[in-house]
A and B are shown apart, each in its own frame.
Chain A
């Protein structure tokens, strides 16, 4: 997936202009690499044709893992490993275990989901990615269109101009992530490897 590619980058300053632009770019057959926005723009994922995320399904699976972990551990401990006689009450005291079972369900689900989220989005400290425009986290909606050998980038730039982009340029960028710090201009390890 990752590697160095060429992109035509158009920056929009209004999401109302961005939406039709996304539709037109897709209709024209260009491949949108990604759109970077300062806040979640509702419906943009559908406009770009992204599929729904299944993160919540993962959360459910982590949750039931927590439930079963709690129930199996507590029941093993209190009925097999070290049965305690508490006032002659049953060793298998399910109602008293509900609070801990519930807490572990929530804990497993939350921790698992956040880790999965970070894994899927490749987010971690000391991870660096190419930023097409620094104002993408401020007030610009930045669309990066991937170029292939056959793409005429002048044509794409003109197309974006018509679609209402405020700033347009062409960038050669690494699509994946690498280890790096934001205070240093840093060569990509892939560049170093290949000796570009």
Chain B
């Protein structure tokens, strides 16, 4: 054992139990090779049922038009754009874990990055549904692509944030997919080489692209993932920045604020981590992966939640202060009457948002609560509800009272098909996630192996013993040997 493999004892092990390389493969890949449990089937069927309800809701919307939704004269963006922003935000945590934490060399990302990236891809798929179906005449959706056409040519407006969104979301989806899949190749090859049945050999053989594990390939693979991480880092910041531009570049009171881009990005990471927590807590339990997704991982993610939650809180308060300090009548009215006033039609949603996003995450300052699984799971749901309400508050409370009191709309509440569409994306998300969990390695096997000897529990114990020996001997034998 060389000193290059040394990690301080203060750091918690990332892999618990007495593991070797083969054991890691066995633990993570064997669930793929077994028949799914009853629980898996139940979850999968519920998801498919939700998905089908979503498909029916979309069918209604396409056949009869956007009138199937309860949008009205001033609230042109209701649940659908709320859901769009919410889902995109969820996706951001996956990229943060896989890209930003890779650049920061955070070892704990290896336990959760694969599933978090999958979550990103599925969340962006769900997000994409909303603007696409909101077009109404969805068969003309290709009009958003800029290409020389026979309609003039009529080009898209490159100065419009809505078009920036098209580019941002599609780039984000493509880059996330490439990043995820290139990381999956070696692990799919592991599944392929263990496969006993013909069908599995065929399918994983095709999926693994003939990966062999050659040193030169690994060298390129490392370079590829590092550069992709470097590209994905500004990309993830740009995506939610651009989403926030949809609002910030408008002249609607409550939307026209420069704080939106950083506030949205922090909020996105905040809600995304909450979703990762919900999924990981279930995943580790169902697949028995407690040794790989440890309490340490959960605590680390809770720290991110309390940080980003506090950033979001500061942003809310700054926004409120500036609305007053800026002395714009309409801006201040939107805040004072439409949001802060508890007795206004939507006042309750502002306080719900404040409580869920700003007050409740502060519980995570306590270590006991950060390491409490049941509490973490509960909080992750609360945070996601809160972040959904943030988008709802921004969209609805700013639009339901226009400049013109005569066009102030009646109370907006969603129709069953609006709710059905939202539930349908849950169905899509969880159907994809259940299939992913069944057919793909949910933890990056190769990456766990590469940190195993530094951070595995059994190896850390050996290091403690080594440190206890005579330090001179330790230095002469181990350090000299390492060179």
A121 interface residue (CB < 8 Å to B): yes
Within 8 A of A (CB), among B200-244: 201-202, 204-207, 209-224, 226-228, 231-232, 234-235, 238, 242
- Contacting B146 at CB < 8 Å: which of A45, A77, A111? A77
A28 interface residue (CB < 8 Å to B): no
B1 interface residue (CB < 8 Å to A): yes
**Given A38-B190, A182-B204, also A110-B209 (CB < 8 A):** no
- B204 surroundings in chain A (CB, below 8 A): 182
Stretch from B149-157, B278-286, B368-376, B381-389 that touches the partner: B149-157
- A39 surroundings in chain B (CB, below 8 A): 186, 218, 446-447, 449-450
Q: Are B182 and A131 in contact (CB under 8 A)?
A: no
- Smallest CB-CB separation from A89: which chain B residue? B159
Chain A CB within 10 Å — which of B168, B186, B189, B227 has the most? B227
Q: Are A138 and B190 in contact (CB under 8 A)?
A: yes
Within 8 A of B (CB), among A116-171: 117-118, 120-129, 131, 134-139, 142
In angstroms, how far is the closest chain A Cβ from the Cβ of B172?
Answer: 8
Interface of B is mostly: helix
In angstroms, how far is the closest chain B Cβ from the Cβ of A81?
Answer: 7
- A194 surroundings in chain B (CB, below 8 A): none
Q: Are A128 and B152 in contact (CB under 8 A)?
A: no
- B464 surroundings in chain A (CB, below 8 A): none
- How many contacting A-B pairs (Cβ < 8 A)? 207
Q: Are B198 and A74 in contact (CB under 8 A)?
A: no
Q: How far is the CA of A45 from the CA of B238 in the complex (A)?
A: 35
Interface bits A59-102 vs B (CB < 8 Å: 1, else 0): 10001000000000110011001101010000001001101101
Q: Are A183 and B214 in contact (CB under 8 A)?
A: no
- B: residues with CB less than 8 A from A are 1-2, 20-22, 25, 146, 152-155, 157-159, 161, 163-164, 167-168, 170-171, 174-175, 178-179, 182, 185-186, 189-190, 192-195, 198-199, 201-202, 204-207, 209-224, 226-228, 231-232, 234-235, 238, 242, 245, 446-447, 449-450
- A: residues with CB less than 8 A from B are 16, 34-42, 44-45, 48, 50, 52-53, 55-56, 59, 63, 73-74, 77-78, 81-82, 84, 86, 93, 96-97, 99-100, 102-104, 106-107, 109-111, 113-114, 117-118, 120-129, 131, 134-139, 142, 177, 181-183
